[in-house]
């Protein structure tokens, strides 16, 4: 939580959950609604000064963030990226095998996951074609026991995210799950695959 006051961060998280939730309910477009949520985590989560610490970035790297939702395809064979923020345009609707890397681990465990420093995880798999992320958050979208997908937030600088970020990310993922189902998310997904 370096550089941030926990109480202020928690209050801002609650405020944004309410505002984003109200806005997402008011739209009739499922991906736009999910985009409001991924936009919220994109703007809120992570230590925005993490890249200034020694060792946070390797030579040639620069701090940037990505956020999105990896939906589980109906055949449960792939993850499909929707409502993304910060991803390169060519990765719009990125699709990758369901068991790939840490998204695959979250799919199997159905538990949230934080990788404060991906260098500490030899099994970290680079999914973003343009860069290897240094810190990442994952939170499952669970509906009545069914794994619908997961929300991702990542940054290039190592140790950008900490436990309070994961807690907030999980809350936003719960909102994303409810919004996805309220807007007929499964029909939307079937239209994409």
Q: Which domains are seen in the chain, by residue range? A: 6-50+66-192 (3.30.450.40)
Q: What is the CA radius of gyration of the chain?
A: 16
Mean model confidence pLDDT for the chain: 93
- Compute φ and ψ for 14, nearest 5 degrees: -60, -45
Q: Is-contact 176 34, C-beta < 8 A?
A: yes
Residue 41, exposed/middle/buried by CB under 10 A (0-12, 13-18, 19+)? buried
Give me the mean pLDDT over the 71-78 stretch.
Answer: 96
Name the pLDDT band for 4 (thresholds 50, 70, 90).
confident
* pLDDT digits 0-9 by tens, 31-56: 999 999 999 999 999 999 999 999 99
Q: What is the DSSP letter of 36?
A: H
8-state DSSP, 153:
E
Please name the residue that has the structure tokens 């343009």.
130
Render pLDDT for 95-149 as a digit per residue (tens, 0 to 9).
Answer: 999 999 889 999 999 999 999 998 887 767 777 666 778 999 999 999 999 999 9
Max Cα–Cα distance, the chain, nearest Å: 47
Shortest CA distance to 137 belongs to which of 46, 50, 52?
46
| pLDDT score for 130 | 65
């Amino acid at each position: 939580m370096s550089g941030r006051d926990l109480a202020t961060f928690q209050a801002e998280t609650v405020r944004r959950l309410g505002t984003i939730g109200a806005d997402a309910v008011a739209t009739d477009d499922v991906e736009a609604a999910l985009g409001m949520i991924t936009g919220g985590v994109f703007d809120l989560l992570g230590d925005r000064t993490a890249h200034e610490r020694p060792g946070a970035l390797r030579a040639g790297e620069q701090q940037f963030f990505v956020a999105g939702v990896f939906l589980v395809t109906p055949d449960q064979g792939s993850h499909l990226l929707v409502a993304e923020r910060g991803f390169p345009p060519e990765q719009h609707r990125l699709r990758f095998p369901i068991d790939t890397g840490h998204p695959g681990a979250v799919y199997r465990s159905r538990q949230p996951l934080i990788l404060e420093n991906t260098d500490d995880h030899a099994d970290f798999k680079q999914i973003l074609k343009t860069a290897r992320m240094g810190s990442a958050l994952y939170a499952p979208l669970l509906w009545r026991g069914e794994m619908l997908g997961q929300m991702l937030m990542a940054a290039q600088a190592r140790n950008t995210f900490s436990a309070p970020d994961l807690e907030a990310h999980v809350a936003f993922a719960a909102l994303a799950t409810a919004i996805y189902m309220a807007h007929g998310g499964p029909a939307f997904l079937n239209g994409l695959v």
